[in-house]
Structure 1
């Protein structure tokens, strides 16, 4: 999401909670911060252990400067509590905390962030889901997305690609695969979850796959398949598949009704379907004329944050 900012050296990317050099302390804190353990301890060990948070170690270098820390909801699932976040803000009066929700509020990975959003910890709260923004008074903002030049394939297969967790979608995907077989369309599905074999593909065991690698696989195909979970219906926000199609000029096939609310929705290559029978063979041959000019760049989000804080 923030690659353009990091490359431009306008931001520092922090990908770990703790900055602990001592092995024993690091391992002890890992145990204490485990979900089931800390659900009981409630951070009571922090005044004794005094954990070194990676954020505070970075903020020490900018103690007299105005700084903004952007938290995604995923970064708030384990270590950070209302108490220690407020303590950090007291230590560094020039810092502002911003929450960026990149998952809908009904998703488990957003639960902790939503709870913290009600505690006065954050100066600004953004969400990619317009319904959530209206419901909870957050600021709506499309998920920031950085263009990566090193993922573009030399050749493109006229076919369709899907990558994602099962989350109850495997049966739907199996029906789509039947349709692609009927139309003679090449397809590749990378579906992760509890291992299970379906008629046309197998669900693979959960694996952490680098997004850059996912994107390389995605862009090898002319069409991106985006399937919203039936159980969540209209709660689904827009996935990264929509941004990938817009930014890299790929045809999109999606069953998410909210595609029509996307600011840059273009029905010439973004096709909403209700089921697999709506798919048209000509979509796999069409040339996409995407009008992407950096509209999703994280630089624009940072500009908006600065304007609102000032």
Structure 2
């Protein structure tokens, strides 16, 4: 069987899907548009593209990126299944061309349609559409699926083995105020934390205990930070109901979680001893949450959220032979 994944894998999460498929002896390939780099032949071409984007709504860089997908597919040849993650980033005409290369065309949305509208992709383009957002599942009838645990389960630690109370890494976006509020709340109960903000420029008004850096944190360093924390922090975007990868990191590392995602209480892994739901604007956090140990999940519940089960659900739940 041949399976191809198409995605913009900026944080390198999607590569784990390919590994899980290969572990099942599937011939799997990843067309990662995040690795495509377009270089303007001359400064004149850069200026021309800027004008084209403004006046004609035509972006040469995006056009070349989409052509890159088709060129790579042409090299790979026909596929049994193709999965596109965040398909709203690709024009309908390109999707229809991609579909000619496969027997089954699948989409996975891990952004809310309120943030990235997908109405233009509902006209019989995909054979199946999966979504992590419960509101989109209810509105459009998509197949529900969450994100996944992509690492082996980490050994259970005791609270006194952690270097600091809480860990959070965040890009600079609309969640910044919530991050500040949670930091202020932790300051008030004297809980040490490691909050890291990643982006080009340090925002004004940032809590002085929140660190800022320009470069993305490497995965090995991220692993160290998460090992050293007692509790992870998860702040959802506006209009998001699906679970972020930070939730699955907490399950994998067997760490407690502070989250602003109120829908998390509807999942079978929810345990108020392990998960504290707070208001983004006025988070109430008690020091006692950091003092009790994490209560491990049953193996059956844990497996439901692993990448192995995710791959089986997306690609093989229709009775296909692996």
Q: TM-score normalised by the shorter chain: which range applies?
A: 0.7 to 0.9
Tell me which residue corresponds to 2:144.
Answer: 140
Tell me which residue corresponds to 1:102.
Answer: 110
C-alpha separation in 2, matches of 1:34 and 1:201: 42
Seen in structure 2, the aligned counterparts of structure 1 residues 284 and 243 have a Cα distance that, compared at 3 Å, is same
Seen in structure 2, the aligned counterparts of structure 1 residues 99 and 254 have a Cα distance that, compared at 3 Å, is same
Tell me which residue corresponds to 1:186.
Answer: 192
C-alpha separation in 2, matches of 1:33 and 1:300: 44
- Deviation string, structure 1 residues 148-173 (Cα, Å, up to 9, x no partner): 479999x6324101111232333333
Deviation at 1:249, TM superposition (A): 0.4
SS in 1 for 2:317: helix
Where does 1:254-265 land on structure 2 (aligned, <5 Å)? Answer: 254-265=259-270
Deviation at 1:133, TM superposition (A): 0.7
SS in 2 for 1:303: helix
Seen in structure 2, the aligned counterparts of structure 1 residues 17 and 69 have a Cα distance that, compared at 3 Å, is farther
Tell me which residue corresponds to 1:237.
Answer: 242
Say which is worse superposed, 220-229 or 203-212, in terms of deviation.
203-212
Seen in structure 2, the aligned counterparts of structure 1 residues 236 and 50 have a Cα distance that, compared at 3 Å, is closer
Seen in structure 2, the aligned counterparts of structure 1 residues 242 and 42 have a Cα distance that, compared at 3 Å, is closer
Moved over 6 A (4+): 17-20, 31-35, 149-153
C-alpha separation in 2, matches of 1:257 and 1:18: 35
RMSD, matched Cα: 4.1
SS in 1 for 2:311: helix
Tell me which residue corresponds to 1:53.
Answer: 70
Deviation at 1:135, TM superposition (A): 0.9
Tell me which residue corresponds to 2:4.
Answer: none
C-alpha separation in 2, matches of 1:129 and 1:266: 21
Deviation at 1:34, TM superposition (A): 11
C-alpha separation in 2, matches of 1:52 and 1:248: 35
**Residue 301 in structure 1 maps to residue 310 in structure 2:** yes
**Residue 175 in structure 1 maps to residue 181 in structure 2:** yes
Say which is worse superposed, 120-129 or 167-176, in terms of deviation.
167-176
Tell me which residue corresponds to 2:232.
Answer: 224
Q: Is the 8 A contact 2:70 2:98 kept in 1?
A: no
Seen in structure 2, the aligned counterparts of structure 1 residues 196 and 50 have a Cα distance that, compared at 3 Å, is closer
SS in 2 for 1:289: coil
Aligned counterpart for 2:32 among listed residues 5, 15, 36: 15
Q: Is the 8 A contact 2:162 2:230 kept in 1?
A: yes
Q: Which stretches in structure 1 are left out of the alignment for 5+ residues?
A: none
SS in 2 for 1:278: coil
Deviation at 1:41, TM superposition (A): 4.3
Q: Is the 8 A contact 1:18 1:52 kept in 2?
A: no
C-alpha separation in 2, matches of 1:57 and 1:67: 14
Deviation at 1:244, TM superposition (A): 1.3
Q: Is the 8 A contact 1:227 1:256 kept in 2?
A: yes
Q: Is the 8 A contact 1:156 1:221 kept in 2?
A: yes
Deviation at 1:256, TM superposition (A): 1.8
Seen in structure 2, the aligned counterparts of structure 1 residues 17 and 250 have a Cα distance that, compared at 3 Å, is closer
Question: TM-score with structure 1 length normalisation?
Answer: 0.75
Seen in structure 2, the aligned counterparts of structure 1 residues 207 and 135 have a Cα distance that, compared at 3 Å, is farther
Seen in structure 2, the aligned counterparts of structure 1 residues 186 and 69 have a Cα distance that, compared at 3 Å, is same
Deviation at 1:32, TM superposition (A): 7.2
Q: Is the 8 A contact 2:185 2:284 kept in 1?
A: no
C-alpha separation in 2, matches of 1:301 and 1:248: 19
SS in 2 for 1:120: coil
Aligned counterpart for 2:286 among listed residues 272, 280, 283: 280
State the aligned residue count. Answer: 288
